[in-house]
Amino acid sequence: MKYPKALENLIKSFQLYPGIGPKTAERLAFYTFLELKDEEVADFSANLLRIKKELKHCSNCGVITDRETCEICTDSDRENKLLVVEGTKDVNVFEKIGHYYGKYHVLNGLISPLNGVGPDDINIQNILKRVDDEKIEEIIVATSATIEGEMTALYIKNSLENKNIKVYRIGYGLPAGGDIEYADEMTLIKALEGRKEL
């Protein structure tokens, strides 16, 4: 005996996601049938369709949006700075803090030769165009502190060499509340390099 076709199909759909194995997918499909209300399932179904219909990448900065050009790109009050990040989630993280008033540039990936991702596979070339068009005065590259993140930051710095513009890398070091004892070697090296006068 197998489960009814409809149940098997839903289990397969859940398994499309990374981190959801057969057991979890089964649990989620059962929960859908046994515990969720009809309206909740109908909404879930509709929300899935809407996401592919309504969302796109902002034609200017690359963030996920439901407009042609996103709210931030069309906001004339923003400072002429670019915070370059890997994905849309990072934009959200910085916007939540409310300490940065410039614009963003979302790469939607990082350069990774091992995975066959080159500079042309991510949203990197448009930075140069934006620097001119939007009179950008400062760029902060806030990619993560991994090999791919460093490589991407370096590539961006090099491609902006001929422009008269400040390019920064976001600061690295001990996280707030971080304990020296438990910090890893690379974090400590970065923290020493990033020392500030008291």
Question: Footprint of a copy of itself on this chain (CB under 8 A)?
Answer: 1-7, 9-10, 12-13, 16-19, 24, 26-34, 36, 38, 40-55, 64-66, 71-72, 87-89, 91-92, 95, 108
CB of 17 to a copy of itself, least distance (A): 6
The minimum distance between CB 34 and a copy of itself, in angstroms, equals 8
Cα-based distances in Å from 150 to 86, 112, 162, 169, 170: 12, 10, 20, 9, 11
CB of 141 to a copy of itself, least distance (A): 20
Query: What is the chain's Cα-based Rg?
Result: 22
At its nearest, how many Å lie between a copy of itself and the CB of residue 3? Answer: 7
Amino acid type, 165: I
Q: Quick one: 76 or 162, whose CB is closer to a copy of itself?
A: 76
Closest CA to 103 of 139, 127, 129, 78: 78
Q: Helix (H, G, I), strand (E, B), or coil: what is residue 82?
A: strand
- Rounded distance, CA 126 to CA 15, Å? 35
Would you say 65 or 160 has its CB closer to a copy of itself?
65
Smallest separation (angstroms) from a copy of itself to the CB of 7: 6
- Of residues 67 and 129, the one with the C-beta less far from a copy of itself: 67
How far, in Å, CA of 43 to CA of 11, rounded?
18
Nearer to a copy of itself, 88 or 152 (CB): 88
d(CA 109, CA 143): 10
Q: Which is nearer to a copy of itself, 58 or 153 (CB)?
A: 58
Residue position matching structure tokens 């990197």? 124
